[in-house]
Each structure stands twice: as C-alpha cells, then as structure tokens.
Amino acid sequence: MTQNLKGIASGIASDVTGKRILITGGASGIGAASALLLATRGAKVVIGDMAEEMGEAVAKQGQDAGNSIVFKKVDVTSGDEVRALFAFAMEALGGLDVVINNAGIDHKPAPMHELSDEDFDRNIAVNLKGIWHCMRAAIGCMATNGGGHVINVASIAGLRSAPLISAYSAAKHGVMGLTKSAAHEYARVNIRFNAVCPSFIDTPMVRHTMANMNERAQQATIKASPLRRLGEVDEVSGAIAWLASDESSFMNGHAFTLDGGMLA
Ligand SMILES: NC(=O)c1ccc[n+]([C@@H]2O[C@H](COP(=O)([O-])OP(=O)(O)OC[C@H]3O[C@@H](n4cnc5c(N)ncnc54)[C@H](O)[C@@H]3O)[C@@H](O)[C@H]2O)c1
C-alpha cells in the first residue's frame, strides 16, 4: 500500500510557518493567546478587534518578539468594517490561508423571560451575524487564492443547553449551523470550515460572566467539567494552531470540543 508520508519528518508541532492568518477578537483572551502563538510559530497574523488599545498592545508584544503581527480596528457587527478589515488583510498579507472568527461577547445570566431585547439583539449581532459577515468576506478572499480554512470559535453552548445564557446559546447554535452548511457548500472550491467549542475558559469574558453569579453558581461553573477546573487560554490556542496547520486537512464541518470532558 502506498502511503503519503508528507510532513512526517518536519519535526515541528502544528507547523503554520508562512500561513497568512486573520483572527478577530485577537485583543484579549483566547484570541490574543492564539494570535501570539500563531505568530511565534511563523504565521503572518492580522488581528481585528474593536478594542484598539488592547489590540495594538498584543500586536506590539508579538512584534517585540520579532514576529509578524499587526492590528486593525473593526466592529464585526458592521458589514462595511468587516469588508475593510479583509481588504486590509489581503493587502498586508498578500492573501488569506486561515481566518479565525473568534470575536464574541457574553450577556448577563438571566432566565429567558427576563432577558432584555437589547441583550438578545446584541448577542445575535456580534456572536452570529458578526461571524456570518466574516465568513462571507473570507469566502470571497479565499476563492481568489485557491482555498483556505475558516475556524469559527463557537462554544459547547452551541452544542447543548446553556441555562441562563440562552441568547448566547442561540447565537452559538447558529454558528454551528453556518459552519456545517458552509463546509458542504464550499468544499468544491477547497475552503474548509470547522468550529472550536470550548467550555469555560479562564478569560476576561468568563470572569465577567462569573462576576454576575452567586458563590454557588461560580463553584458549579468551575467544577462543571470532570477535570473540575476552568480551561486555560493556552489549552485552546494550541488546538487552534493545530487546526490552522495542514495537519487538520481532512477535518471539515467539525465541532472540536475543548471541554475537559464535560460533554462526555
Ligand atoms: N471564555 C470562555 O469560557 C469561552 C467558552 C466558549 C466560547 N468562547 C468564545 O471564545 C471567543 C473569545 O472569547 P474570550 O473568552 O477570549 O473573550 P474576551 O472577552 O477575552 O475576548 C473577546 C474579544 O472579542 C472582542 N470583541 C467583542 N465584540 C466585538 C465586536 N463587535 N467587534 C470586534 N471585536 C469584538 C473584544 O474586544 C475582545 O477582545 C468568543 O467568541 C467566546 O464566545 C469563550
């Protein structure tokens, strides 16, 4: 039997050298950790985020370490701003191999009947429509450079119930629908779509959500996984780096859970 052993001798974990990568929400948490890891491993990275000061600081940290990483301000709820971000990335990087749609927000935990219109609408606008804006732009760019890989940061809240954060859960279920549908639609032009579905990861977003909980709910959140702790951002960025590498080349339309066994 003939086997394709291409790459086995490279000896580099999740080789992303030279990959042209755009990541949204790269100013904080999972996005910042992923942007810095990818740049450290030789990718050329553009960060898009609405938090300008923090985004510039992440880019500077990467640049000071000698890596290729730049920041561009964007609000993913605006189709026009997303188009401008992708035009910037195409110009700066000369093409796009990987797009990581990670920008997202939480909302104040509340039973469904007490959720405000504002919280519901904002969650759908950022966590669902924002991802769709970026997927649409990514498809246009990648179709011109022979294909690529879109990685959507969803959540286990997109795979199962998420009591008290139902608008967030609805948006993340929507992201799974977009991911799976696009995986079928664009395989013919060599664009893959996968989702990363973390459980509770120790980031500013989760700390913000937990600040709105009582002590009992906080402990339940921390101990929700069989590992009985929150995940660390590095435990997500490492998986994202693997996905961004060619090692994930036969994965398409998949929900990659990083949940310490919560859904097992
Ligand atoms: N932390 C977790 O436990 C967890 C679990 C599952 C999924 N996620 C998802 O991971 C992603 C990253 O979350 P995080 O925990 O690192 O949060 P975070 O708050 O640390 O980072 C989110 C980033 O998104 C940016 N952002 C928010 N709205 C934006 C907008 N409209 N336009 C552009 N940028 C915007 C913020 O400025 C911030 O830099 C989110 O999509 C989140 O839903 C997080």
SS3 string of the chain?
CCCCCCCHHHCCCCCCCCCEEEEECCCCHHHHHHHHHHHHCCCEEEEEECCHHHHHHHHHHHHHCCCCEEEEECCCCCHHHHHHHHHHHHHHHCCCCEEEECCCCCCCCCCHHHCCHHHHHHHHHHHHHHHHHHHHHHHHHHHHCCCEEEEEECCHHHCCCCCCCHHHHHHHHHHHHHHHHHHHHCHHHCEEEEEEEECCECCHHHHHHHHCCCHHHHHHHHCCCCCCCCECHHHHHHHHHHHHCHHHCCCCCCEEEECCCCCC
Threshold 0.95, pTM exceeds: yes
- Residues 218 and 202: their CA atoms lie apart, in Å, by 12
% the chain with pLDDT above 70: 95
In a domain? residue 4? no
Active site residue 168: yes
Pocket test for ligand 1, best of 23, 34, 49, 230 (most atoms within 8 A of CB): 49
* CB of 202 shorter than 6 A to ligand 1: no
In a domain? residue 7? no
The reported pLDDT for the residue numbered 12 is 63
The count of structural domains within the chain is 1
The reported pLDDT for the residue numbered 13 is 75
Ligand 1 atom 7, closest CA: 155
pLDDT tens, residue by residue, 6-58: 444 456 678 999 999 999 999 999 999 999 999 999 999 999 999 999 999 99
Residue 99's DSSP bridge partners are 22, 150
- Residues 233 and 240: their CA atoms lie apart, in Å, by 11
* CB of 158 shorter than 6 A to ligand 1: no
In a domain? residue 12? no
In a domain? residue 155? yes
Give the atom of ligand 1 at the shortest distance from the alpha carbon of 172. Answer: 43
In a domain? residue 115? yes
In a domain? residue 169? yes
Residue 74's domain spans which residues?
17-201+232-255
pLDDT tens, residue by residue, 89-114: 999 999 999 999 999 999 999 999 99
- Residues 155 and 175: their CA atoms lie apart, in Å, by 9
CA of 29 to the centre of ligand 1 (A): 7
Intervals of the chain under pLDDT 70: 1-12
In a domain? residue 213? no
Residue 257's DSSP bridge partners are 197
